[in-house]
Amino acid sequence: MLWLGAAIVASFAAIWLWIIALPSAFLDREYPIWQAKLRLLDTCDLGSIVVVGDSRAAADIIPALLPGKATNLAIGGSQPVESYFAVKRALACPNPPSVFVLSHSIDHFFHPDTFWTRSARFGFLRFQDLQEVYQTSARFHDFSTYGIEADGLPPTLRNWMHANRFPPLHFASL
């Protein structure tokens, strides 16, 4: 019986390692785009103009046509919360951009439908970001985002699970 428990733990660990190492193998086809935008933010090579927003901004705003060096960080399915954290990270860069262009469809202000399936699952929002979203929603008694996944988990545990790519959150995608 001990070997069965060890096999289950080893299988769980192997799946977890696979989820961490190869998320592109099973996540939505937009995952690499989100990761590329995150890398741009992490390297702080943004220029003086940064565009944040949803798919309309991603498709319609061409950085080469803007005056000065510009970076388009807009992502399909992105919502204002991702834009907030993208701008916050950009402002923390050694040479932060001086102009931000924000462009979101009005629907994204009311329906946080991709918050868990993309922002959290893709790792765009880190644990501290997820905690900030939860604390802000608690302060304003707005649980629209945390009510979407009514799984009974405490918000901090759910945030940790997303930040650490806990396997059960990804089983449906595997």
pLDDT for 92 equals 97
The reply to whether 16 falls in a domain is: no
Beta bridge partners of 71: 50
> For residue 73, what are the contacts with CB-CB under 8 A and spacing of at least 6?
37, 40, 41, 46, 50, 51, 52, 86, 90
pLDDT for 148 equals 58
The reply to whether 131 falls in a domain is: yes
- Structural domain total, the chain: 1
The reply to whether 5 falls in a domain is: no
* Residue 61: domain span: 29-169
The reply to whether 69 falls in a domain is: yes
Q: Tokens standing for 59?
A: 């498709």
Given the structure tokens 């003086």, which residue do they identify?
A: 48
pTM for this prediction? 0.86
Top-confidence residue, 76 or 95: 95
Where helices occur in the chain by DSSP H, the ranges are: 2-21, 31-43, 55-60, 80-91, 127-139, 155-163
pLDDT at residue 110 greater than cutoff 90: no
The model's pLDDT over 125-165, given as tens digits with 9 standing for 90+, comes to 999 999 999 999 889 988 777 765 557 788 899 899 999 98
pLDDT for 61 equals 95
Q: Tokens standing for 42?
A: 């992490």
SS3 103: strand
Q: Are strands 49-53 and 70-72 parallel, antiparallel or unpaired?
A: parallel
The model's pLDDT over 30-86, given as tens digits with 9 standing for 90+, comes to 899 999 999 999 999 999 999 999 999 999 999 999 999 999 999 988 899 999 999
The reply to whether 130 falls in a domain is: yes
SS3 102: strand
pLDDT for 149 equals 56
The reply to whether 174 falls in a domain is: no
The reply to whether 15 falls in a domain is: no
